[in-house]
Structure 1
Amino acid sequence: MIVRIISLGLFLFVSLPSFVAHAQDAAAQPWIRPDHAADEAVWGIENGIVFSLWPYGLEHRNERPYGGGPRGLIRVGYQNGEETYLMNFLAIEPIVSGKIEFSEISPSAVDGVWGKLLWASDTPEAGSYYPTARARGVVSQVGGAGEAVEELSVYVFMERFAHGAAPYLKLSIRSDRPEELCIQVFHHEGSTPMDRCAITATMGNYSRLRNLHLKGSVVTSTQLYNGFDGIDFIEKDGYPMSQMLEDTGGYLWALATGDETMDDLADWPVDSLARTKMGWKYRAPFKFTQYWKKEKKTADPSLSVRVNGRARYWSGGSRDKSHYMRIPGGPSFENFELQEKYIPGQRFYYGLSRKTPSELVD
């Protein structure tokens, strides 16, 4: 099969590898992954976490292949039965000499449009950008002897950033942790040294996340940002590693939840502005706890929790306040991440769980 690919401004014709279909194995496995190189760039696990790369979205399976929203972001959602629900975007934000770049607004070297091109591979060799899946993902056995635990892994590559940073990621899902995505951060040879490379969940306003669960306290966005009604982000100081929750298994946690009932969350105003913002209306049939966690033994002392907030939904960069709809219920957390000095191969875990924070952290 031949498809057109883009390699930093050059159009090339490359023969895509053939995927061998294993229908019998697929029936026995929980994995969601492409059957062919030209399929949608979507991977995940049944009744658990799913992710995709632009231009492929996660919702409306029968109406795809496109609908993936902004470029330069990893879409993350939750598969339940026959439906998949988009829940958040993950952005890549490398910092070099104190200067940060954002994968979703850093211009592409191919066409100058906002958003770095992202593509997948089964190996750590980057290759070139492909507009389709190209990679099935590698399924391997993990855990101790006798444990029937599998892991699906996919490498995600991106264009080099303007300040020279050249990070890439390895995303993995374990069959015994279906609600969790492991994210490892690496860099290519020749990359400008990075101070850190944050992986940030950028769309907390969709779930109206207002409670940040830390050690001995719950920080609420409505109190933290009380009185704020602007159209930009608002940010306070972060929270050091010492304020993160710790479980008996040696992991540090920060968890975010909403503060509304399911009925309130699913409700939506009927005014003319709200009708133009229907993409922000909550569509999943249940609520989630979103979390970040880190193995304490591998954590650098620089590890911290960062959130920022918004009082009004993003509206495409317009500076006209009338274009921005107030978030029902008040300000909520938009970006949610762990920050840590860059260490090659460092691991962060992002979760979308139907469990409560107290059920997750023992």
Structure 2
Amino acid sequence: MRTEADWLRPGPADPPRWGHRDGLTVGLSPLPGPRGLLRVYTPYLGHRPERMVNYVAVEPVTRRGLRRGFSELERSRLDDEPGLTMWTGDGRLPDPGRLAVVDGVEVLTVLVRCERFASGAEVDLRVRFRADRPHEVELAAAATATSRPLRSCVLTATMGNYARLRTLRLAGREVHARQLWPWHRGDRFTLRASFGLGALPREPDGTAVVAARGDEDDPAGADYEPSVLPHWHWQGERAEQAWVVPDPHPRLRAQVNGRVTYWASSAPIPGGVAFENLEVREPYRPWRPLVFRVTPLPGTSDSG
């Protein structure tokens, strides 16, 4: 049986961070990094405690709209700075979250609120950890009572370039970033590559998996150009990053885009084009759970 010491939960003077003390955790600003994003930490890969493996952005589309909202890129109406404000509880002190036992498993749940988007979308995000799954977090979004109706609400993992994710695992095959965008150059994103439900691997209960990993045996030993800032240098062990999608909608699309330079720079990514955003797009269903999982690959110290 887990104890309180097994969970990471913020007190009044602590930074806003929750999860498995020895596993995956999630944090919010003012922890380092852009505002408007969930920070995902995986110290079991050999990362420093403050090192994020990825971020998750919230990108809703209203029923009458065509363009996504961008929690990371929109300017806040509160202070006119980039990134929408996210908070828990009353916004003054972080909510430690609620512990409960569900189907015999201890679960930690915290509700994250997000500032209203320019489109009129207003979204809450439920963040949930299961004691028996230390390498994953369940995320579920829902429109608030004052939100404009939603067509979709994409949760997108935004920083695949840090791990240099390049291989997307599909049903019966794999596809590499270089196959998708062999001629891409410059410092912009590629177009999105999109795959329907039939292209994705499925678990016995029908759950779909959208999983990507790197293609390097030793990513920590990569050679970087001098222009690559140190925070882009990969640390630690290799892992697969995945969205796990129970009860997938028939119109589900798994989507990736890529870059050949690191975000907001012209610094080249070692080895060329790599995935940046990894996401699932479906018609909106309130509190629809998606699981983000970061699993050490075989041969790493925490892979068992």
Which residue is 1:159 aligned to? 115
Residue aligned with 1:195, SS: strand
In the alignment, which residue of structure 2 is the partner of 1:142?
102
State yes or no: 1:304 paired with 2:272: no
Q: How does 1:1-362 map to 2 (within 5 A)?
A: 25-27=3-5, 30-34=6-10, 36-56=11-31, 68-80=32-44, 83-84=48-49, 85-96=51-62, 97-121=65-89, 127=90, 129-130=91-92, 132-133=93-94, 135-143=95-103, 147=104, 149-262=105-218, 264-269=219-224, 271=226, 273-274=227-228, 277-283=229-235, 285-296=236-247, 299-315=248-264, 323-355=265-297
Give the residue type in structure 1 aligned to 2:78.
V
Q: Deviations over 1:148-185 (max 9, x none)?
A: x2111110001111110001110101011111110111
Q: What TM-score does the superposition give when structure 2 sets the normalisation length?
A: 0.92
The verdict on how the C-alpha distance between 1:177 and 1:207 changes in structure 2, with shifts beyond 3 A counting, is same
Letter in structure 1 aligned against 2:43 = Q
What is the Cα deviation at residue 79 of structure 1? 2.8
- 1:335–1:82 CA distance, 2 compared to 1 (3 A): closer
- What percent of counterpart residues are identical? 33
Root-mean-square deviation (CA, aligned residues, Å) is: 1.8
C-alpha displacement of 1:38: 2.9
Please tell me the residue identity of whatever aligns with 1:344.
P
Distance 1:25 1:48 in 2: 14
Q: Distance between the aligned counterparts of 2:225 and 2:243, measured in 1? A: 35
Q: Which runs of 5+ in 2 are unaligned?
A: 299-304
Give the CA deviation at 1:300: 2.0
Distance 1:205-1:41 versus aligned 2 partners, 3 A rule? same
Does the CA-based 8 Å contact 2:180-2:193 persist in structure 1?
Answer: no
Q: Secondary structure of 2:198's match?
A: helix
Q: Does the 8 A contact of 2:193 with 2:257 survive in 1?
A: no
TM-score w.r.t. length of structure 1: 0.77
Residue identity opposite 2:101 in structure 1: Q
Native 8 Å contact 1:98 1:195 kept in 2: no
Task: Quote the Cα distance in structure 2 between the aligned partners of 1:82 and 1:190.
Answer: 40
Q: Secondary structure at the match of 2:178?
A: helix
Deviations 1:178-214 (A, max 9, x none): 1111011111112101110100000000000000001
Q: Report the alpha carbon displacement of residue 269 of structure 1 after superposing the two structures with TM.
A: 2.4
CA contact (8 A) 2:136 2:291 kept: yes
Q: Tell me what 2:302 maps to.
A: none
Kindly state the Cα deviation for residue 242 of structure 1 after the two structures are TM-superposed: 1.2
Helix, strand or coil: the match of 1:40?
coil
Output one character per residue of 1:99-158: Cα deviation in whole Å (capped at 9) or x when no partner: 21110111101111110000013xxxxx4x33x42x111111012xxx3x2111110001
Letter in 2 for 1:280: W
Structure ID, larger Rg: 1
Structure 2 CA distance for aligned equivalents of residues 258 and 219 of structure 1: 12
User: 4+ residue stretches of structure 1 with deviation over 4 A?
Assistant: none
Kept in 1: contact 2:126–2:139 (CA 8 A):
yes
Deviation at 1:25, TM superposition (A): 4.8
How far apart are the structure 2 equivalents of 1:38 and 1:160? 27
Comparing both structures, which one devotes a greater share of its residues to helix?
1
